[in-house]
Amino acid sequence: MKSLRVPLILPLVAALVLATTPPPVADAQGQSIKIGVLFDHTGPFAAGGSLNCWRGAKMAIDLVNEKGGVLGKYKIVQVDGDGQSKAEVAINEAERLLNAEKVDILAGIYSSAHAVPLAEKVDKQKKFLWITTAISSKVFDGRNLQYTFRPQATGDQFGALSVAYINEFARDKLKKDPKALRIALIHEDGAYGTDVANGSEVKAKELGLNIVLKEGYSINAPDLSSLVTKLRSQRPDVLLHTGYNPDIALFLRQAKEQGLRLQAYIGHGAGHSQIDKLKEAFGAKEIEGFHTLDPIASQLLDPKKLKPGVGEMTAEMVKRYKAQFDKDVTDRAIAPHVSMGFNNMWILLNDVLPRAISKHGGFGADALAKAARETDIPEGGTMQGYGVKFFPPGHRFAGQNERAFPAVFEIIEGKFELVYPKTVATASPLLPLPASSPLAAK
């Protein structure tokens, strides 16, 4: 009878071992850490900034591996996923990376429309999600996520800062009382655009500014001429626009054709931060004076104002980008999304992961979450200038970086300049739109 029991017991023992297998523990020389890097390599989001985010993240991973890996011995295995600019595909890719590829960390995510549902799904699985790019505050607002963290600024911050910028320079540059300005808000109607536009609306009400139109649209709309007609009827002085890539090009083309006239045009990241794509769609002279908001492109910051060693990392990023992806690009023209991918991946690899391994015993989701909550990087301690401290569990925005901030860029003489806040500005704003712009008020 004893001989019959052994085969019956063995499967039970094996099942018990599998069920109680602990999370990855850092205890072996040369052990690898698998990171699923999920961005959109195809579809409209790729050209809107997602591909540049992936490039930045890849360069950061390559650099760490060249130095021997995390803590000098744990190599990163990068496993890529392509969301294809579709939410359902991104969710399926996340499932593949987590459950088929068995990655230890899921990182990336460009679109807020992907990030909002993904964060909840991944968190429920008790897997660690590190968001480098997507900005919607809805990712965290009131959800008390335990394993999801984002060093990036939020969409409502983008919207609020663009309004604060116009309020700051209305009298000096536009020669008007800010309360006399007519401001219009248009936005793609997903989580990203809605969040930014709401941030602008709240800030405008706080400052007593006049919003004459707030209108959403689908990024898949084949025609935006009716939106342009509405704008023309409201005669805005300032237009705040939040979109992705093809929709921005479509809007600008139809605005030019229909004779929309403005004193200032302000975009919010995504396609507005891809200067090469704007030139392709609208022409180099025509985009002079256009604005965008994003976390700071690292190469625009004065390295002397950052913590020691941070400026050297920016120089390394620029060198690698030009060697691998665009040898002819000028340093200042490298899109902010490259910095987002590199900087935010660097924070994970050089702050969170080392502490998870050395202090919390490994790189499972619980160890990583504990390490992330202990992150305390002061302002000037990252390549994009902001510090990092995540809101704790129980906070309305648990997992969001409370120290992140965006900035206002403007295309001046064919390249991006920082124009606001004044503490980081590299140039004075070019307002109103120059005569070379087909949107300029005549």
DSSP string, 351-367: IIHHHHHHHHSB-SHHH
Residue corresponding to tokens 């040898």? 327
Topology (CATH level 3) of domain 156-294+406-424: Rossmann fold (3.40.50)
Element containing residue 114 per DSSP (H, E): helix 112-124
**Residues 375-426: tens digit of each pLDDT:** 999 999 999 999 999 999 999 999 999 999 999 999 999 888 999 988 788 8
Check residue 30 and give its pLDDT.
54
Q: For residue 423, what pLDDT is reported? A: 79
The per-residue pLDDT string of the chain (442 residues; one tens digit each, 9 = 90 and over) reads: 333 333 333 333 333 333 444 556 555 445 899 999 999 999 999 988 999 999 999 999 999 999 999 999 999 999 999 999 999 999 999 999 999 999 999 999 999 999 999 999 999 999 999 999 999 999 999 999 999 999 999 999 999 999 999 999 999 999 999 999 999 999 999 989 999 999 999 999 999 999 999 999 999 999 999 999 999 999 999 999 999 888 999 999 999 999 999 999 999 988 898 888 888 878 888 999 999 998 889 999 989 989 999 999 999 999 999 999 999 999 988 989 999 999 999 999 999 999 999 999 999 999 999 999 999 999 999 999 999 999 999 999 999 999 999 999 999 998 889 999 887 888 999 999 999 899 998 7
Which pLDDT belongs to residue 279?
85
Location of each CATH 3.40.50.2300 domain in the chain = 33-153+320-373, 156-294+406-424
pLDDT of residue 139: 96
| CA 336 – CA 294 distance, rounded (Å) | 7
Alpha helices in 348-430 (DSSP H): 353-360, 365-373
Which helix (H) or strand (E) segment holds residue 186: the answer is strand 182-188
Short-list 272, 204, 287, CA closest to 242: 272
395: tokens are 């906070």
Task: Find the Cα–Cα–Cα–Cα dihedral 51, 54, 59, 65, rounded to 10°.
Answer: -150
User: 3-state DSSP: the chain helix, strand, coil percent, rounded to 5?
Assistant: 45, 15, 35
Is the bond preceding 406 in cis, omega lying within 30 degrees of 0?
A: no
The class of domain 33-153+320-373 in CATH terms is: alpha beta
Burial 359-398 (b: 16+ CB within 10 A, else e): ebbbbbbbbbbebbbebebeeebbbbbbbbbbbeeeeebb
